[in-house]
Amino acid sequence: MNIGDVSTRTGLPAKTIRYYEDIDLIKPLRDDNGYRRFRDQDVHKLNFLGRARALGFTIEDCRTLLALYEDETRASADVKRVARDHLAQIETKIADLKAMRDTLSHLVDACAGDDRPDCPILQDLGGKS
Amino acid sequence: MNIGDVSTRTGLPAKTIRYYEDIDLIKPLRDDNGYRRFRDQDVHKLNFLGRARALGFTIEDCRTLLALYEDETRASADVKRVARDHLAQIETKIADLKAMRDTLSHLVDACAGDDRPDCPILQDLGGKS
DNA sequence: TCTTGACCTTCCGGTCACTGGAACCCCCAT
DNA sequence: ATGGGGGTTCCAGTGACCGGAAGGTCAAGA
Using one digit for the tens of pLDDT, what is the confidence trace for B52-61?
999 999 999 9
A59 with A15, same domain: the answer is yes
Q: Is B97 within 8 Å of A97 when comparing Cβ atoms?
A: yes
Give the mean pLDDT of B81-86.
98
Among B70, B126, B17, residue whose Cα is nearest residue A126: B70
B48 with B88, same domain: the answer is no
The 10 Å CB-count burial string (b at 16+, else e) for B87-101 is beebeebbeebeebb
For chain A, residues with pLDDT lower than 70 are: none
pLDDT at B125 over 90: yes
**What is the C-alpha to C-alpha distance for residues B121 and A30, in angstroms, rounded to an integer?**
32
B45 with B88, same domain: the answer is no
Query: Is B64 in the A-facing interface, judged by CB distances under 8 Å?
Result: no
Domain, as residue range, for A120: 76-129
Among B71, B36, B65, residue whose Cα is nearest residue B51: B65
Q: φ and ψ at B111, to 5 degrees?
A: -90, 130
A64 with A97, same domain: the answer is no
* Cβ pairs A/B, distance under 8 A: 160
Domain end point (choices A27, A43, A74) = A74
- Say how many domains are in chain B: 2
pLDDT at B129 over 90: no
**What is the C-alpha to C-alpha distance for residues B61 and B42, in angstroms, rounded to an integer?**
18
Element (H, E) at A63: helix A59-70
In a domain, B64, yes or no: no
Residue of A nearest to B85 (CA): A108
A6 with A57, same domain: the answer is yes
Which residues are CB-contacts of A101 (< 8 A; sequence separation ≥ 6)?
A: B87, B90, B91, B94
Q: What is the pLDDT of residue B116?
A: 97
Contact A26, A45 (CB under 8 A): yes
Query: Is B109 in the A-facing interface, judged by CB distances under 8 Å?
Result: no
**Nearest CB to A116: which of B71, B75, B117?**
B75
A70 with A95, same domain: the answer is no
**What is the C-alpha to C-alpha distance for residues B10 and A3, in angstroms, rounded to an integer?**
50
A61 with A22, same domain: the answer is yes
Using a 7 Å CB cutoff, list residues 45-64 of A near strand D: 53, 58-60
Query: Is B1 in the A-facing interface, judged by CB distances under 8 Å?
Result: no
A6 with A55, same domain: the answer is yes
Band of pLDDT at residue B128, cut at 50, 70 and 90: confident
Calculate the average pLDDT of chain B: 97
Query: Is A105 in the B-facing interface, judged by CB distances under 8 Å?
Result: yes
Element (H, E) at A13: none
Band of pLDDT at residue B17, cut at 50, 70 and 90: very high
Band of pLDDT at residue B14, cut at 50, 70 and 90: very high
Query: Is A25 in the B-facing interface, judged by CB distances under 8 Å?
Result: no
Q: What is the pLDDT of residue A128?
A: 79
Q: How far is A104 from chain B (nearest CA, A)?
A: 7
Task: Identify the three-state secondary structure at position B88.
Answer: helix
A1 with A37, same domain: the answer is yes
CB proximity B82–strand C (7 Å threshold): no
B49 with B101, same domain: the answer is no
A52 with A11, same domain: the answer is yes
CATH number, residue A59: 1.10.1660.10
- Beta strand spans in B31-101 (E): 36-37
Q: What is the pLDDT of residue A129?
A: 72
A56 with A118, same domain: the answer is no
Find which nucleotide's C1' atom is closest to B57's CA: C17
Angle between helix B3-10 and B40-54 (nearest 10)? 40
In a domain, B87, yes or no: yes
